[in-house]
């Protein structure tokens, strides 16, 4: 019996040690000599691909600044691996260690905070509606009887249904596997509207074949804090990420990075999104925090 209890104690200790190592990102990447960044193919100016394994964007650059400080902390240069993630798999891949830091367009909410951790909010999003410019649609009420596209694994259509202006509005949801696929549903006429984060809509419109054929309309459905994500229960990594962001905010570099991606010409087509920083974004940079979207709704 004593041997059995001793064996159980050893097994429990080993399991606890393995858990601790799994959640010690700095130790993990130091041992591996590499860090894996989760990136998105078409998350507007936050994170998108240029092809050939190249990823750029506002959150990609912030993550690169964080990784530079990770290298200082572990005392060695790290290989940076880029792993494309989707709305469906980004949280599981972060939880299981496949991705060390996710640099896309993930909303920080209470449910997700039970699974993963978030850095201080670096972008505050407004959820909007994109339609074809000649559709005549300008309000939520006009979506009655229409096909509304959204991306699998996101919360946008849920927000639309909860909006008080959507009461009595009956529409059909059609799903894209990623944001580019959802926009294609609108572009090809299989959807009458695409509901998503405003900057993702703007990015997809700007990079479409004929940007003038689309516009963003209607009421703001929700305001959401978007943040960089990583594994839960890793205080050392979170502290490093938050301190990096705080340094960027204090120096004014965070605002400059925002302007670079949202107001200036961006690759590959040199198009300007024309989205100056909102008051909500400026407030987030002034009072850095990792509050979930539910805290914003209580205002």
Q: What is the C-alpha separation between 229 and 24, in angstroms, rounded?
A: 15
Q: Is residue 133 located within the same domain as residue 258?
A: no
Q: What is the C-alpha separation between 241 and 63, in angstroms, rounded?
A: 8
Question: Would you list the DSSP string of 76-112?
Answer: S--EEEEEE--TTTHHHHHHTTS-SEE-S--B--HHH
- % helix / strand / coil in the chain, to the nearest 5? 45, 25, 30
Does a structural domain hold residue 6? no
Q: Is residue 75 located within the same domain as residue 209?
A: no
Q: Is residue 64 located within the same domain as residue 33?
A: yes
Does a structural domain hold residue 15? no
Residue 16: predicted pLDDT: 43
Question: Would you list the DSSP string of 110-156?
Answer: HHHHTTEEE-S--EEEEEEEEEETTS---SGGGGTT-EEEEETT-SH
Does a structural domain hold residue 11? no
Does a structural domain hold residue 80? yes
* Non-local CB neighbours of 223 within 8 Å, separated by 6+ positions: 124, 125, 126, 127, 280, 293, 296
Residue 127: predicted pLDDT: 87
Does a structural domain hold residue 16? no
Could you tell me the two tokens for 161?
């249904």
What is the SS3 assignment for 272? coil
Based on its alpha-carbon atoms, the radius of gyration of the chain, rounded to whole angstroms, reads 21
Residue 8: predicted pLDDT: 44
Does a structural domain hold residue 35? yes
Does a structural domain hold residue 1? no
Among candidate residues 223, 243, 275, the one where a domain is terminated:
223
Residue 164: predicted pLDDT: 66
Task: Note down the domain range covering 179.
Answer: 126-223
Among candidate residues 170, 191, 223, the one where a domain is terminated:
223
Q: Is residue 112 located within the same domain as residue 144?
A: no
Q: What is the C-alpha separation between 299 and 225, in angstroms, rounded?
A: 13
Q: What is the C-alpha separation between 15 and 19, in angstroms, rounded?
A: 6
Q: What is the C-alpha separation between 12 and 183, in angstroms, rounded?
A: 49
Q: Is residue 53 located within the same domain as residue 176?
A: no
What's the total number of domains in the chain?
2
Among candidate residues 223, 252, 279, the one where a domain is terminated:
223
* Non-local CB neighbours of 65 within 8 Å, separated by 6+ positions: 244, 248
Q: Is residue 116 located within the same domain as residue 163?
A: no
Pairing of strands 47-51, 42-43: antiparallel
CATH number, domain of 205, equals: 3.40.190.10
Q: Is residue 116 located within the same domain as residue 231?
A: yes
pTM: 0.80
Q: Is residue 62 located within the same domain as residue 208?
A: no
Q: Is residue 232 located within the same domain as residue 290?
A: yes
Does a structural domain hold residue 13? no
**How would you class 22 by CB atoms within 10 Å of its CB: exposed for 0-12, middle for 13-18, buried for 19 or more?**
middle
Q: What is the C-alpha separation between 187 and 192, in angstroms, rounded?
A: 9
Q: Is residue 101 located within the same domain as residue 40?
A: yes
The number of helices, as runs of H, and strands, as runs of E, in the chain is 12, 13
Residue 22: predicted pLDDT: 59
Q: Is residue 146 located within the same domain as residue 101?
A: no
Residue 132: predicted pLDDT: 98
70 and 29 Cβ atoms separated by less than 8 Å? yes
Nearest one of 201, 188, 150 to 172, comparing CA atoms: 150
Q: Is residue 198 located within the same domain as residue 143?
A: yes
Walk along the chain (299 residues) and give the pLDDT tens digit of each residue.
444 444 444 444 444 444 445 589 999 999 999 999 999 999 989 999 999 999 999 999 999 999 999 999 999 999 999 999 999 999 999 999 999 999 999 999 999 999 999 999 999 998 899 999 999 999 999 999 999 999 998 878 777 777 767 788 999 999 999 999 999 999 999 999 999 989 889 989 988 999 999 999 988 888 889 999 999 999 999 999 999 999 999 999 999 999 999 999 999 989 888 899 988 999 999 999 999 998 987 65
Residue 56: predicted pLDDT: 98
Q: What is the C-alpha separation between 267 and 56, in angstroms, rounded?
A: 9
106 and 218 Cβ atoms separated by less than 8 Å? no
Residue 298: predicted pLDDT: 64
């Amino acid at each position: 019996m004593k041997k059995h209890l001793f064996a159980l104690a050893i097994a429990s200790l080993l399991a606890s040690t393995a858990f601790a190592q799994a959640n010690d990102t700095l130790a993990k990447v130091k041992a591996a000599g590499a860090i894996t960044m989760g990136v998105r193919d078409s998350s507007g100016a936050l994170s998108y691909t240029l092809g050939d394994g190249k990823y750029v964007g506002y959150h990609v650059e912030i993550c690169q600044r964080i990784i530079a400080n990770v290298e200082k902390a572990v005392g060695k240069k790290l290989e940076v691996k880029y792993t494309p993630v989707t709305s469906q798999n980004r949280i599981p891949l972060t939880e299981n260690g496949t991705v060390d830091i996710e640099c896309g367009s993930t909303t920080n909410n209470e449910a997700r905070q039970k699974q993963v951790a978030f850095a201080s909010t670096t972008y505050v999003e407004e959820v909007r509606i994109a339609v074809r410019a000649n559709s005549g649609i300008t309000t939520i009420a006009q979506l009655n009887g229409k096909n509304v596209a959204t991306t699998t694994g996101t919360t946008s259509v849920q927000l639309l249904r909860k909006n008080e202006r959507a009461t009595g509005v009956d529409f059909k949801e059609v799903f894209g596997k990623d944001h580019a696929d959802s926009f294609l549903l609108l572009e090809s006429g299989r959807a009458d509207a695409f509901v998503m984060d405003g900057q993702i809509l703007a990015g997809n419109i700007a990079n479409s074949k004929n940007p003038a054929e689309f516009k963003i309309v209607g009421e703001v459905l929700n305001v959401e804090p978007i943040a960089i994500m990583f594994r839960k229960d890793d205080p050392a990594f979170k502290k490093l990420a938050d301190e990096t962001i705080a340094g960027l905010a204090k120096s004014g570099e965070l605002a400059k990075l925002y302007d670079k991606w949202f107001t200036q010409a961006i690759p590959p087509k040199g198009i300007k999104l024309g989205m100056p920083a909102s008051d909500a974004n400026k407030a987030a940079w002034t009072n850095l925090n990792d509050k979930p979207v539910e805290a914003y709704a209580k205002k």
